[in-house]
């Protein structure tokens, strides 16, 4: 067991006015299973890179441990080689027998070691890299969002695997994963940083109580400050009035006054002024105690949605529907029966490759072709929608969308995002100021608006697509893995929005908490075993 001591760590990126960390100090134990929590852009991945020594910084990081990082960077030139040949390049000194043992714990077929890396699925790549990561001894492991793009079954496997390990920092926005796998949390709050024992749920419960106490204390201080200001104003007014009576008086009306009373009046005024000063000092103390009470409060703005009402009850129907891509030996799926009515939020559930995204493409193409037939298609062309319309596949059975259906779509792929926000809004017919306002409500910094969208982080790209979807009035909202890279606070913010507006939705999302809170119906595709064990 060793410790990681961080003292006065200060860091900002070259050319940026924002300080990511300012004199941060903390101590971590390398025996912990530590969850790293924070909003997008707060510096979670940056902190891992600082531990790895990849950036120059001010302050000190002292430890005797060796760090290793997930995911490994695999250049395109390596993808034609089999996994076994890449072990030494990913982790120098890696031993094959240890990797095989870890793959067995991950319930992965050892055969993935002998296939070209580029042919492995997202889940297979994740399991292989985790097996390599944990094949060392006495390393402290830095694990950055291991479940993105994984289906629920693979997530459950990774969750069970990490639950049996220790000595790592886990960056994840998946509440279910954090609850199952960590025993401490390192939280990058809005203004402060805290380390606390427990998992996400215990920390969130403590934070909720702390925030409620801070709000109550803030209100108490505000009332006390108001009372003191009023009292101070009255006493100051009395002192001023009293001071003005020192010189000059009417001997007829004020027969008990004489020049000798001037010193008495002066002493009384001085006493009043002293009381004013004491009150002002109390006001300053109250203000000082009030400062900082709300600095870490997570109080996201309530988002708005503009769902449209359709004249038909059933917006989407599939009967014995199947899809087959050209040159494929087997259909992607077949005999699918689905009905989506207004007000329902249907989640497609199944393993990677079972056809969830393919079904979404078929629905989008069906609606787009129907709009072309009616000659009322007003959707702006862009790389995203053109790709959908050009998809070729053979269909069986029936798939039908309601006439005149307006769809708001969030693609799981963000690679098509290019250019400025102004160009993006112009292509989609969005009001730029409203779009930026929604992005700000999703906690995107204003500095991002001057960048090209290809320079956004993955979380910021997803928030841009979500903002565009929220701003688009629609009968049906189709979201394909919308929460990848989205921080946990924004996830809860989006949950609240959906439960408030009750839009009609077709969703693919592997965050089990999100699905349990939002879905009105779950449609299983393929072998949709969720991987849970009793």
- Residue 265: the pLDDT is 67
Look at residue 534 and tell me if it is in a domain: no
User: Percentage of the chain surpassing pLDDT 70?
Assistant: 85
Return d(Cα 57, Cα 173) in angstroms, integer.
26
Return d(Cα 232, Cα 275) in angstroms, integer.
8
CATH number at residue 50: 3.40.50.300
| Assigned token pair, 362 | 């078929």
- The model's pLDDT over 432-479, given as tens digits with 9 standing for 90+, comes to 999 999 999 998 888 889 889 998 888 889 999 999 999 999 999 999
Assess whether 131 and 11 both reside in one domain. yes
Would you say residue 168 has pLDDT above 90? yes
Look at residue 300 and tell me if it is in a domain: no
pTM here? 0.75
Assess whether 100 and 242 both reside in one domain. no
Would you say residue 338 has pLDDT above 60? yes
Would you say residue 273 has pLDDT above 90? no
Assess whether 91 and 166 both reside in one domain. yes
Look at residue 382 and tell me if it is in a domain: yes
Domain count within the chain: 3
Assess whether 185 and 262 both reside in one domain. no
Assess whether 265 and 149 both reside in one domain. no
Q: How large is the C-alpha radius of gyration of the chain?
A: 31
- Nearest-CA neighbor of 155 among 133, 181, 187? 181
Return d(Cα 432, Cα 103) in angstroms, integer.
49
Higher local confidence (pLDDT), 272 or 363: 363
Lowest mean pLDDT among 208-212, 300-304, 497-501: 300-304
Return d(Cα 466, Cα 460) in angstroms, integer.
10
Assess whether 162 and 244 both reside in one domain. no
Confidence of residue 531 (pLDDT cuts 50, 70, 90): very low
Give the end of a domain, one of 275, 290, 305. Answer: 290
Lowest mean pLDDT among 9-13, 14-18, 126-130, 291-295: 291-295
| Assigned token pair, 421 | 């926000």
User: Whole domain around residue 490: which residue ranges?
Assistant: 314-524
Q: How far is CA 81 from CA 77, 376, 524, in A?
A: 8, 50, 35
Confidence of residue 532 (pLDDT cuts 50, 70, 90): very low
Look at residue 532 and tell me if it is in a domain: no
């Amino acid at each position: 067991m060793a410790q990681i001591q961080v003292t006065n760590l200060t860091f900002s990126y070259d050319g940026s006015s924002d300080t990511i960390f300012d004199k941060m100090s903390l101590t971590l134990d390398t025996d912990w299973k530590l969850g790293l929590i924070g909003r997008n852009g707060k510096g979670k991945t940056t902190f891992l890179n600082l531990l790895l020594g990849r950036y120059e910084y001010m302050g000190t990081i002292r430890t005797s441990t060796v760090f290793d990082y997930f995911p490994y960077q695999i250049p395109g030139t390596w993808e034609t080689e089999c996994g076994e040949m890449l072990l030494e390049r990913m982790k120098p000194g890696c031993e094959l027998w240890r990797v095989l043992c870890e793959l067995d714990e991950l319930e992965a077929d050892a055969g993935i070691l002998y296939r070209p890396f580029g042919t492995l699925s997202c889940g297979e790549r994740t399991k292989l890299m985790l097996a390599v990561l944990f094949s060392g001894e006495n390393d402290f492991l830095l694990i950055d969002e291991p479940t993105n793009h994984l289906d629920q079954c693979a997530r459950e496997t990774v969750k069970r695997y990490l639950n049996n390990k220790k000595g790592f920092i886990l960056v994840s926005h998946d509440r279910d994963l954090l609850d199952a796998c960590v025993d401490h949390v390192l939280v990058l709050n809005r203004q402060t940083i805290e380390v606390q024992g427990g998992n996400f749920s215990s920390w969130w419960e403590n934070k909720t109580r702390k925030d409620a106490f801070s709000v109550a204390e803030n209100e108490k201080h505000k009332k006390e400050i108001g009372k003191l200001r009023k009292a101070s104003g009255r006493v100051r007014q009395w002192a001023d009035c009293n001071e003005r009576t020192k010189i000059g008086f009417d001997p007829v009306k004020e027969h008990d006054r004489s020049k000798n009373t001037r010193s008495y009046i002066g002493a009384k005024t001085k006493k009043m002024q002293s009381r004013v000063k004491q009150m002002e000092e109390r006001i300053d103390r109250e203000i000082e105690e009030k400062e900082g009470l709300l600095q870490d409060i997570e109080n996201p703005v309530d988002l708005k949605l503009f769902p449209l009402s359709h004249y038909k009850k059933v917006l989407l129907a599939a009967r014995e529907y199947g899809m087959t891509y050209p040159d494929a030996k087997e259909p992607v799926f077949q005999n699918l029966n689905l009905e989506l009515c207004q007000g329902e939020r249907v989640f497609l559930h199944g393993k990677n490759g079972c056809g969830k995204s393919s079904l979404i493409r078929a629905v989008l193409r069906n609606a787009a072709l129907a709009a072309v037939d009616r000659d009322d298609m007003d959707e702006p062309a862009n790389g995203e929608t053109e790709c959908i319309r050009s998809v070729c596949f053979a269909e069986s059975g029936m798939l039908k969308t309601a006439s005149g259906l307006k769809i708001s779509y969030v693609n799981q792929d963000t690679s098509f995002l290019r250019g400025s926000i102004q160009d993006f809004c112009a292509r989609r017919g969005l009001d730029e100021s409203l779009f930026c306002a929604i992005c700000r409500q999703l906690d995107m910094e204003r500095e991002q608006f001057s960048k090209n969208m290809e320079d956004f982080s993955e979380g910021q790209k997803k928030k841009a697509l979500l903002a565009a979807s929220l701003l688009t009035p629609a009968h049906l909202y189709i979201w394909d893995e919308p929460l990848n890279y989205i921080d946990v606070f924004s996830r809860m913010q989006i949950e609240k929005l959906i439960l408030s507006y009750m839009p009609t939705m077709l969703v693919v999302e592997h965050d089990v908490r999100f699905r349990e809170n939002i879905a009105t119906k779950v449609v299983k595709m393929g072998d949709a075993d969720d991987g849970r064990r009793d």
